[in-house]
Amino acid sequence: MSGSYMAYPKIREDIIIGPPYLTKYEKAKIIGIRSLQLTKNAPPLIKLDVVKSSDPVSIAKYEVENGILPVSIIRYTQSGLKQVIPLKLLLESTI
């Protein structure tokens, strides 16, 4: 698949592929992947007393909802266009 990448958007209006917010499917996938990493002894990016739980799903959910994870979402179109969107930018528009 040879497509062209769009530059990292700096503001919400620069998001041209998909909605300008984190979809429930993207959120579920990120939480699932991060909780799997935590289950396999990856270090949490927060102090556990903040979440008041040692459950990996609770920790991952907190990390995602507060924009702590350094993650970017890659969205594609059928024409091959790709856009890499930082998680923090998608979370700003849901608030």
DSSP 45-60: SS-HHHHT---HHHHH
Greater pLDDT, 20 or 8: 20
CATH number for the domain including 17? Answer: 3.90.940.10
pLDDT confidence band for 93 (50 / 70 / 90): low
User: What pTM did the predictor assign?
Assistant: 0.82
**Structural domain span for residue 24:** 5-92
pLDDT at residue 67 tops 80:
yes
How many separate domains does the chain show? 1
User: How high is the mean pLDDT of the chain?
Assistant: 87
Specify the pLDDT at position 16.
85
